[in-house]
Structure 1
């Protein structure tokens, strides 16, 4: 797992690290790398597949070129529209997200051996939400859809 391995490095050092990681993919094909980054240019350069997260949930995943060229989820579209491009290149209009960022869903999951977990066992269970999620697939490119059911 490589969590932001080049984020605090000088550009020339970043290039060296990325070169090593790219070479490892060729020389050690059985090696799996999970690369976590906010740098979309680096992801496009280094990765075969990408997963886009929003509020801690994967909302879109698929081959890098397919997700970058044909984003399906609104958050992925907005994210990609914010990537700086050289001025000579025609870029699509930037998508601006408006409104308040929703709070991530709260969870009652805690380590089972903590005092908090013992006290939660005495409380009544919270009813499950009326929202379910599924991954809609188009070829090998997926988008998470939220489907609300009336109860």
Structure 2
């Protein structure tokens, strides 16, 4: 994962991935690279203040996780903010894998043959549309004696 991040962002990360990403700045830059403006404001270290305080780090990490949700990363693949802030690269790797390679997780054989589920608002509209069309069909049949 380190190489994927480094090549996409043209940066060199520290050897320890957990420590390199613990302040959340690089993670936010990564999601903005994948989908621009996913994180509108990123707290970044500066030469004057090379280390972010805990509040800014947490804000970056929470913004990253929220952007991942909006980009369709499944909740089960998301690590917690604590995992990132504590430098636990294990769970973070799973989140990065799901973010960088969506759909890479293997589907169960039953899920592969199931009809695709419609998103909430689209499913509601489809139900409404089918209902209205059915009522119109019934009215047409009643009027014309079919």
| TM score, norm. by length of structure 1 | 0.25
The structure carrying a bigger strand percent of its residues is 1
Q: Which one scores higher on RCO, CA 8 angstroms, separation ≥ 6?
A: 2
| TM score, norm. by length of structure 2 | 0.26
Compare CA radii of gyration and give the structure with the larger one.
2
